[in-house]
A and B are shown apart, each in its own frame.
Chain A
Amino acid sequence: MIRYITPLLSIVVGIALLIGAFTLPKSTLGNPNGPMYFPALIAIILILSGLVYLFQEFKARGVKFTDFTQIRLGKSPMYLGVSLVLMIIYTILFERIGFLFSTIIFLLGLLFMLNGRKKWITNILVAVIFSVVTWYAFGTLLQVSLP
């Protein structure tokens, strides 16, 4: 059944977009429905393509579906899950505790995840050095306003 997820998702997104398009506020200037046409057209493309795709997958139902097996093997689910959590934490911390510390934490997290605990010296060195260098290059030299 897993092979039908993507085509069905495409159809669902298409329908949601269509509903979204029809509930857009009407324009008070020019053509009142102007803002609606293009999203509606995209929604129709999505739904139609989704249907064709569904049909293709149905025709190919005898062939083994292997597209997703990779993410279920070995440490992959852990890596993806931890990366997602780290990225979300980074997003939350970035403006709160500033660029430098949040970046060090983010890099440490990723490095410990991939590199293991044994190489902790390398991990800490890489995280700190690169965070500081980037912080200096962007913040001071390029005058990008970093938090």
Chain B
Amino acid sequence: MGTDMQVVLDGFLTAIQPGNLFWIALGGFLGTVVGMLPGLGPATAIALLIPITFGMDPTSALILMAAIYYGAMYGGSRSSILLNTPGDGSAIAATFDGYPMAQKGQAGQALAMSAIASLIGGLIAVVGFIVLAKPLANFALKFGPAEYFLLMVFTLSAIVALAKGAMVKGFISMAIGLMISTVGIDLQTGVYRFTMGSPHLSEGIDFLVVIIGIYAVGEVLYNFLTINKPVGEKKSVGKKWITKEQWKRSKWPIIRNGPIGFVIGVLPGAGGAIASMLSYSFEKQISKHPEEFGEGAVEGLAAPESSNNAAAVGAFIPMLAMGIPGSGTTAVILGAIVMLGLKPGPLLFENNPDMVWTFINSMFVGNLFLVILNIALVGLLVKILDTPPRILYPLIMMLAFIGTYTLGYSTVDFIILIIFGFVGLFMKLLKFPVAPLILAVIVGSDMEQNFRMSLISHPDIIGIATASPITIALVIMTIISLGFPFLSAWLMDRKKGKTSEESM
């Protein structure tokens, strides 16, 4: 597209018209709220609002729906930080260091940092969108089954490798996640696998049910164990704004991971969960003090937050540039704008440039609005921590069950939820890393199907690994990520003369 500055500016002016500002604010607010509730992610929220957009102007509808989407990226990490219960897949990485920060009495700072990181990540991505939409869309097309398969292998290995001393536990955790992902109809052959005769299970186990089970229910059960212990000191909420020191530590991680998240977001099907987890493991591996990660390192929160918000913006590129939905949520949005009479496709940029640019600028404005909203909410949100746990935990339980029900409209999911609640409890007791399991459930089925499809195009594993420059790069990155912990442990050994044991 010829990026004509005039069109961009016109788009900006349209985006800040009062009507559109209202939709941005409304969507951002709704998104923040649904993002905070477990299970009720942006896709569900948007799907439920579709009937309301009937009859709206397509541009406004698109602005509203997009604002819900990235609003949920902000909201999702709120509950990750405060309660250790991520709202959806892309907010998981925020629990790794965000929750420990809150436990250390830095809840306010964590919330502020996450909002700032999200803002910068989002802005980087919007700029990227303006400059790079078309070439990136074409790059994304180069990803075939072999490339996707290896990208997922790489992400999984990077996450397993995070559990340094306890890599075996990481592998078991991952294998359980992959196992769950095999339930359901096998796409390539139509064979039913492990469905136990339940038609509900034929479409597989929704990864969100597993997330809610392990995090929300599991966390509540785990807290029941200590609920009667006298509280040592009252957890202070701490300052509501980040310190200079924290900014210094986070500034580069935020700037580095915005583009990473953006590029991964552009790949159809990859999405925020992969982006944020990759960013987290990348920062941990290059960090000078990796031992602080998982204990409340501020850059361990900032990096994935920047990345997942950038990914949410990136996911709109394939949708707007080619008419291909890049994620579950954009698929729902695409369906909705089709009903409004818009024809997304390769010609959208040429036929409706004003609409496209209004939309892009609305993301710019929306991110600014959301950071203000979220920082204003910090004071209110940290009050959640003041709620007596004896009342708070039953309510989290209830929200977990309702969130689960909205995902599949079946109580079969409740049984799965209960099982994973207890799985989560025991994983915490046994100090098993949870992230490999979750990520495996999210990518497992895609990984298998892409692997089997790539076997049709390439003769064997070697053929898949050498299919293109992208696959070769991914294979090398996988080897490095798995080998790096051993290498650094070995170096540490030589330095200190003893192995450092730690888990994520």
A: residues with CB less than 8 A from B are 6, 10, 13-14, 17, 20, 24-31, 34-35, 37-39, 42, 45-46, 49-50, 52-53, 56, 67-68, 70-71, 73-76, 79-80, 83-84, 87-88, 90-91, 94-95, 103, 106-107, 110-111, 114-115, 122, 126, 130-131, 134, 138, 142-146
Q: How far is the CB of B252 from chain A (nearest CB, A)?
A: 36
Q: Determine, out of B103-111, B191-199, B257-265, the stretch whose residues face the partner at the interface.
A: B191-199
Q: A34-B452, A53-B168, A130-B398 are known contacts. Are A143 and B179 too (CB-CB below 8 A)?
A: no
Q: How far is the CB of A13 from chain B (nearest CB, A)?
A: 8
Closest to B388 in A: A115
Report if B431 contacts A (CB, 8 A): yes
Q: A35-B186, A110-B393 are known contacts. Are A24 and B191 too (CB-CB below 8 A)?
A: yes
B48 touches A144 (CB 8 A): yes
Rounded to whole angstroms, the CA-CA distance of A131 and B175 in the bound complex is 38
Q: A35-B193, A94-B414 are known contacts. Are A71 and B391 too (CB-CB below 8 A)?
A: no
Q: How far is the CB of A137 from chain B (nearest CB, A)?
A: 10
A84 touches B418 (CB 8 A): yes
Partner of B178, one of A10, A42, A53: A42
B390 touches A42 (CB 8 A): no
B397 touches A110 (CB 8 A): yes
Interface residues of B in 385-426 (CB under 8 A from A): 390-391, 393-395, 397-399, 401-402, 405-406, 409, 411, 414-415, 418, 421-422, 425
Q: How far is the CB of B400 from chain A (nearest CB, A)?
A: 10
Report if B182 contacts A (CB, 8 A): yes
Report if B448 contacts A (CB, 8 A): yes
Closest to B431 in A: A67
A25 touches B431 (CB 8 A): no
Partner of B168, one of A25, A49, A75, A106: A49
Q: How far is the CB of B425 from chain A (nearest CB, A)?
A: 8
Q: A84-B418, A138-B402, A146-B405 are known contacts. Are A53 and B169 too (CB-CB below 8 A)?
A: yes
B421 CB contacts on chain A under 8 angstroms? 87
Q: How far is the CB of B170 from chain A (nearest CB, A)?
A: 9
A67 CB contacts on chain B under 8 angstroms? 429-431
A144 touches B182 (CB 8 A): no
B391 touches A126 (CB 8 A): yes
B406 CB contacts on chain A under 8 angstroms? 138, 144
- Scoring B residues 155 to 183 as 1 if CB is less than 8 Å from chain A, else 0, what string do you get? 00000000000001101101110110010
By CB atoms of chain B within 10 A, which of A75, A144, A145 has the most?
A: A144
* Smallest CB-CB A-B distances: 10 pairs: A27-B189, A110-B394, A91-B414, A79-B224, A114-B390, A35-B191, A35-B186, A49-B171, A38-B448, A45-B175
Rounded to whole angstroms, the CA-CA distance of A17 and B415 in the bound complex is 20
Rounded to whole angstroms, the CA-CA distance of A134 and B403 in the bound complex is 11
A52 CB contacts on chain B under 8 angstroms? 168
B448 touches A20 (CB 8 A): no
Q: How far is the CB of A47 from chain B (nearest CB, A)?
A: 9
B225 touches A114 (CB 8 A): no
Partner of A68, one of B175, B182, B191, B429: B429
B224 touches A80 (CB 8 A): yes
Q: A35-B189, A70-B225, A70-B429 are known contacts. Are A42 and B401 too (CB-CB below 8 A)?
A: no
A88 touches B172 (CB 8 A): no
Report if B17 contacts A (CB, 8 A): no
- Not counting A73-B225, A80-B221, A115-B390, a sample of 19 additional A-B residue pairs whose C-beta atoms are within 8 angstroms of each other reads A30-B188, A37-B452, A39-B182, A39-B194, A49-B171, A67-B431, A70-B429, A76-B224, A79-B224, A80-B425, A90-B401, A91-B415, A91-B418, A107-B394, A110-B393, A126-B394, A134-B399, A138-B402, A144-B406
Partner of A145, one of B193, B397, B409: B409
Report if B377 contacts A (CB, 8 A): no
Report if B51 contacts A (CB, 8 A): yes
B221 touches A42 (CB 8 A): no
B48 CB contacts on chain A under 8 angstroms? 142-144
Rounded to whole angstroms, the CA-CA distance of A45 and B103 in the bound complex is 35
Q: How far is the CB of A4 from chain B (nearest CB, A)?
A: 12
B398 touches A29 (CB 8 A): no
A90 CB contacts on chain B under 8 angstroms? 401, 414
Q: How far is the CB of A7 from chain B (nearest CB, A)?
A: 9
B391 touches A122 (CB 8 A): yes
Rounded to whole angstroms, the CA-CA distance of A107 and B189 in the bound complex is 44
Report if B228 contacts A (CB, 8 A): yes
A114 touches B179 (CB 8 A): no
Report if B369 contacts A (CB, 8 A): no
A145 CB contacts on chain B under 8 angstroms? 409
Rounded to whole angstroms, the CA-CA distance of A71 and B227 in the bound complex is 12
Closest to A33 in B: B189
B178 CB contacts on chain A under 8 angstroms? 38, 42, 45
A71 CB contacts on chain B under 8 angstroms? 225, 429
Rounded to whole angstroms, the CA-CA distance of A130 and B186 in the bound complex is 41
Q: How far is the CB of A32 from chain B (nearest CB, A)?
A: 8
29 sample A-B contacts, Cβ–Cβ < 8 Å, listed by A number: A10-B172, A17-B179, A24-B193, A27-B186, A27-B191, A29-B189, A29-B190, A35-B188, A35-B191, A39-B194, A45-B175, A46-B179, A49-B171, A49-B175, A67-B429, A70-B226, A70-B429, A79-B224, A84-B418, A87-B421, A90-B414, A91-B414, A94-B401, A94-B405, A110-B394, A111-B391, A114-B224, A130-B398, A144-B48
Report if B451 contacts A (CB, 8 A): yes
By CB atoms of chain A within 10 A, which of B390, B409, B451 has the most?
A: B390
B168 CB contacts on chain A under 8 angstroms? 49, 52-53, 56
B402 touches A134 (CB 8 A): yes
A83 touches B221 (CB 8 A): yes
